[in-house]
Amino acid sequence: MLFGKTRAEEIADRLPLQVEALIRAAERTCENRFEFFADPEVRLDTPIDWWSDPLRGVQWPSKPAHRIDHRGGPGDPKWIWELNRLQHLPWLASARMFTGEERFATVALSQLDSWIVRNPPGWGIAWRGAFEAGIRSISVALTLDGLRDAQALTEARFARAVRMLAAGAERCLQDRSRFSSANNHLVGELAGPAIVALLLPELRHAARWEADAVAALAVEADRQILPDGAGAEQALGYQVFVVELLTVVAAVLFRRYGHAPDRLTAAIFRSREYLEAVIGECDPEPHYGDDDQGFAVRLGPEPRRTVREHLGIVDAFLADRPAGAVESPESLTAAWLSSARPVKVREQITLRTTAAGSAFAPDGGMAVLRSGPRTILMDVGALGYLSIAAHGHSDALAVSLNFAGESLIGDPGTGSYYRNPEWREAHRSTRAHATACVDGLDQSVRGGPFLWMRHAQVRVREIDLLGGIVDAEHDGYRRLPAPVVHRRRVMAPPTLKSVLVLDLFTGRGRHDVHVSWPMAPDLEVEPAGAGHRARRRGVPVLELAYAVSGGVVTTEAVRGDDDSALGWWSRELEHRVPAWAPSVRCHADLPFVCATVLLPFPESRAPGPHAVLPARSIADLRVDVEEGRVQVEWIDLDGPHRVAFEMDRVRT
């Protein structure tokens, strides 16, 4: 229903380079060559040992799946699960359609045979959790769909595969994630049996699986994609993953019935609007929360899914690309999931936008301030989804800064899940993010690597998209013996080249505060007066200056520190590179205000790499607080500036 020779010919004519890359990936798969995350490629024996992790020399045990301790076991379950998702099999099915060569079908079915023999339902690491069964079911069902007329697909082979898929469908629906764990895992556990039922409707229980799974998916689409289009998990990578699961199911529903539940298509539409607002025309890839680079399905050979590629997939499915939409590349996944006619969506979303590209998502809690080449993102949302907030980071009020399409200040990424516990702890921490850390503690209280026990709650005080103001506070440090409230006010009016960030700390007692600014790994950082200057390839691109009301600031900068696990940047799971993380430290009695001025250098004004620069481009920064009125003064390359506001002013 999804694949077909006629469509394959059309795709090959339109996307010849992508098809060539897909065939190369299929050839590597024929040689048992696999590569996941940032790990090197491995070449496995024939038949493949589906429980062996050769990179770490680990053999997962032969025992019932529920008795395997994947968290405390000897290896990294993520790698072995990735292999056992069988997401390479659709490559082989596609390669056969593109080339007409039956050898791709022979390899695909031979590997599937060996997997079924090695992994009877409920046995081994591959069946540890219904989620893995759900994701694997999508790949296998699509592979059978693509190979339905293959010479090598005998009745016996087909029957064995269908029995495995039926067992997986029952497992997914019976053991689906519930209550506090009902996050993206639940969507995967529902999408699997939905696809199996839709592609194999002749199975005895297919009608029940389809009705149950699709109805539940419609409910989850409303829950996990918020009214403003943001993902409820507060993790952008998982939003992309969830929406692609919904898109695959919706695409197959359209192929079969000509329609899909409105709640499915509305969630896909909402998410697209939000992601387009966040990524803009030329901004770098946004990041926040966890991201394990997981695929809903792999119909193309790309090693990871970018947000722009994802938007291309969604655009192809909705087939209603509006004028002025964000440019997105064509991909094989988009081509296979594309709709023949526009999908009608009648959806009112709560996302607020301006003509200049600024936006505010009130449900997800993301503010975007755009002015010319400058983009600022500020997180004013929840920690994560449900009570465990498994994939959220303790980063309330964190700021990202992009300029001229390049990242300056950003999120340090995920680091690790299982393999490096110290990375996992650090990359989720408040100290690692572009926000304020009080007394060395996280804003929220962790209970484990995928569990938060107490969540910092954010209150938005003011959003002025036209004026370039975001103002919010959180209560995460109210739990301290001497309670603290952290409030952050970002002021980035379009008329001002500098960005002013005010961190206000109110409460009781004396506290130690770090305000950190993690930077992209291609930047070098040096002292600049009472602040820092960042260079890219020797050219200054950003200056930071700091001041504290009634106190003295101490500047620090860390890069690639193994002891603290700070000063690292991670864009692939289990991989990190050193990156500067400058910060300002204040030790003072409350209340006090820390002012940071961020001055990106426009290309036309940035001095050359060998130019003689002043000691600082921001001078005489001063912040005073008197009777609830905050006043900040500084001088930069555009002259003197003075900003004042009343601390207790609130606008919603």
Domain ranges of the chain: 5-337, 352-646
Residue 216's contacts (CB-CB under 8 Å, 6 or more residues apart) are: 176, 186, 190
- Read off the pLDDT of each residue in 485-507 and give the average, rounded to a whole number: 97
Residue 610 reports pLDDT greater than 90: no
Q: Angle at the Cα of 147 (from 142 to 150), degrees rounded to 5?
A: 175
Distance in angstroms (rounded) separating the CA atoms of residues 618 and 498: 9
Residue 544's contacts (CB-CB under 8 Å, 6 or more residues apart) are: 517, 528, 531, 532, 533, 534, 582, 596, 597, 598, 599, 618
Residue 539 reports pLDDT greater than 80: yes
pLDDT digits (tens, 9 = 90+) for 298-342: 999 999 999 999 999 999 999 987 766 788 889 999 999 998 888
pLDDT, position 576: 98
**Six-digit token string for 625:** 């607080």
**Six-digit token string for 620:** 């005489």
Closest CA to 230 of 265, 275, 284, 269: 275
pLDDT digits (tens, 9 = 90+) for 54-100: 999 999 999 999 999 999 878 899 999 999 999 999 999 999 999 99
pLDDT, position 649: 53
The third-level CATH classification (topology) of the domain covering 352-646 is Beta-galactosidase; Chain A, domain 5 (2.70.98)
Helix (H), strand (E) at residue 276: helix 262-279
φ and ψ at residue 392, rounded to 5 degrees: -85, 155
**Six-digit token string for 525:** 């950082």
Q: What pTM, to 2 d.p., does this model score?
A: 0.97
Describe the chain by its helix, strand, coil percentages, rounded to 5. 30, 25, 40
Residue 612 reports pLDDT greater than 60: no
φ and ψ at residue 422, rounded to 5 degrees: -70, -30
**Six-digit token string for 295:** 């695929």
At 385, the pLDDT band (50, 70, 90 cuts) reads: very high
Residue 452 reports pLDDT greater than 70: yes
Q: What percent of the chain has pLDDT over 70?
A: 97
Mean pLDDT, the chain, whole residue set: 95
Residue-wise DSSP of 478-534: GGSSS-EEEEEEEE--TT-SSEEEEEEEEESSEEEEEEE--B-TTEEEEE-SSEEEE
CATH number for region 5-337: 1.50.10.100
Distance in angstroms (rounded) separating the CA atoms of residues 194 and 170: 11
Contact between 31 and 123 (Cβ < 8 Å) = no
- Read off the pLDDT of each residue in 464-486 and give the average, rounded to a whole number: 98
**Six-digit token string for 538:** 């020797």
Distance in angstroms (rounded) separating the CA atoms of residues 506 and 485: 5
Distance in angstroms (rounded) separating the CA atoms of residues 151 and 281: 47
> Three-class SS string for 96-165?
HHHHCCCHHHHHHHHHHHHHHHHCCCCECHHHCCHHHHHHHHHHHHHHHHHCCCCCCCCHHHHHHHHHHH
Contact between 200 and 207 (Cβ < 8 Å) = no
pLDDT digits (tens, 9 = 90+) for 144-196: 999 999 999 999 999 999 999 999 999 999 999 999 999 999 999 999 999 99
Contact between 412 and 569 (Cβ < 8 Å) = yes
Contact between 114 and 167 (Cβ < 8 Å) = no
Residue 444 reports pLDDT greater than 90: yes
Handedness of CA 118, 163, 193, 342 (dihedral sign): positive
**Six-digit token string for 17:** 């380079």
- Read off the pLDDT of each residue in 565-570 and give the average, rounded to a whole number: 98
Contact between 137 and 190 (Cβ < 8 Å) = no
Work out the end-to-end distance of the chain between its first and last CA atoms, rounded to an integer number of angstroms.
49
Residue ranges with strand state E in 328-441: 352-353, 359-361, 366-371, 374-379, 399-403, 406-409, 436-438
Closest CA to 314 of 337, 293, 297, 287: 337
Closest CA to 645 of 462, 403, 485, 432: 462
Residue 606: C-alpha distances to residues 255, 404, 598 (Å): 54, 12, 15
**Six-digit token string for 140:** 């296998």
Residue 650 reports pLDDT greater than 70: no
Residue-wise DSSP of 302-352: -SS--HHHHHHHHHHHH--PPTTPPP----HHHHHH--SSPPP-------E
pLDDT, position 614: 59
Distance in angstroms (rounded) separating the CA atoms of residues 456 and 445: 8
Handedness of CA 402, 404, 405, 408 (dihedral sign): negative
Same-fold call for 5-337 versus 352-646 = no
pLDDT digits (tens, 9 = 90+) for 96-129: 999 999 999 999 999 999 999 999 999 999 999 9
